[in-house]
Amino acid sequence: LLMEQELRHALQFEEFTLGFQPQVNLTTGKIVSVEALIRWHHPSKGLVMPDSFISVAEETGLINPIGRWVLKNACMQMKMLQDLTGSAIKIAVNLSARQFDDPKLEQSIEEALNETGLEPEWLELEVTESMLMGDIQAVTNKLKRLRQTGVSLAIDDFGSGYSSLSYLKKLPVNALKVDREFVRDIPEDSNDMEITSAIIAVAHKLQLKVVAEGVETAEQKEYLLANQCDFAQGYFFSKPLSFEDLYIYLNEHK
């Protein structure tokens, strides 16, 4: 209850910021996208990470206004960055289950795009496998409505849930993000290596792009590249950055 009040306060007094983690094209080495990750600058506790407040926001329904704040600010900052640098990169925004189920989600997306002037092709939404469980027809229709706004869709934390491959085939998504659990123990764990390369192969058969998450070492990067993974994200390339540090990073990695 206390945290609920604190989250309301945080929304009203803009205590949130976004971190931006670069996503790199493994073949060219170029930055193609950044993932927006929310941070809370609490007046007395200092920096609070999303794992310790997203679930409370979700339970209390505050995730809807917080999610709208994230969408709007992610679009606004990406538009600013594009105007400043002339670079064409995407921004990825995480959705939670309650946002995904909100019938006004499409409207929030269109508002964020219209108010900031960001073209929809530069916005990607990340959903998790668990959000896509349930009535396949309803889920497919929802994803189609989202795609109709012009944004792209990625399945986050792929491999940690239970989606079957036949199910995946029916979903109108653009990309899979391989859960960092599978990447973490490459090259020590040969099972994880096999699973990762199999996910990449299946995704490509289904015309999906593949992003590896949690890439921390050069060996992991090389393995993923050798196995045709399209994109990668992780501390090996960069941790999540402030807007100013992202601007510097982009200038240094042109």
Residues 194-223 that bind Na ion (CB under 5 A): 213
Instruction: Sort 7 into a burial class: Cβ within 10 Å, 0-12 / 13-18 / 19+.
Output: buried
Place of tokens 């391989």: 178
Q: Give kind and range of the element (H or E) at residue 175.
A: strand 175-178
Residues 165-204 that bind ligand G (CB under 6 A): 180
Q: With CB under 5 A as the rule, give the number of residues binding Mn ion.
A: 3
User: DSSP labels for 24-61?
Assistant: EETTT--EEEEEEEEEEEETTTEEE-GGGTHHHHHHHT
Instruction: In whole angstroms, give the CA distance from residue 217 to residue 97.
Output: 32
Question: Which residue from 126, 129, 179, 230 is in contact with Mn ion, where contact means CB under 5 A?
Answer: 126
Question: Which residue from 6, 102, 124, 157 is in contact with ligand G, where contact means CB under 6 A?
Answer: 157
- Yes or no: say if 211 and 35 are a contact pair by the CB < 8 Å rule: no
Told to check if 129 binds Mn ion by CB under 5 A, we report: no
Residues 147-166 that bind Mn ion (CB under 5 A): 156
Q: How far is the CB of 8 from Na ion (least distance, A)?
A: 28
Q: List all residues 6 or more positions away from 76 whose beta carbon is below 8 Å from its beta carbon.
A: 115, 116, 118
Instruction: Look at residue 233 and give its three-state secondary structure.
Output: strand
Told to check if 240 binds ligand G by CB under 6 A, we report: yes
Question: Which residue from 157, 193, 220, 227 is in contact with Na ion, where contact means CB under 5 A?
Answer: 157
Q: With CB under 6 A as the rule, give the number of residues binding ligand G.
A: 21
Instruction: In whole angstroms, give the CA distance from residue 151 to residue 199.
Output: 24
Told to check if 22 binds ligand G by CB under 6 A, we report: no
* Backbone φ/ψ region at 123: left (φ over 0), alpha (ψ -120 to 50), beta: beta
Q: How far is the CB of 54 from ligand G (least distance, A)?
A: 5
Q: How far is the CB of 166 from ligand G (least distance, A)?
A: 25
Q: How far is the CB of 217 from ligand G (least distance, A)?
A: 9
Told to check if 94 binds Mn ion by CB under 5 A, we report: yes
Q: How far is the CB of 67 from ligand G (least distance, A)?
A: 6
Told to check if 129 binds ligand G by CB under 6 A, we report: no
Instruction: In whole angstroms, give the CA distance from residue 133 to residue 160.
Output: 13
Binding residues (CB under 5 A) for Na ion: these are 156-157, 213
Binding residues (CB under 6 A) for ligand G: these are 21, 37-38, 49-51, 54, 70, 94-96, 156-157, 180, 213-216, 234-235, 240
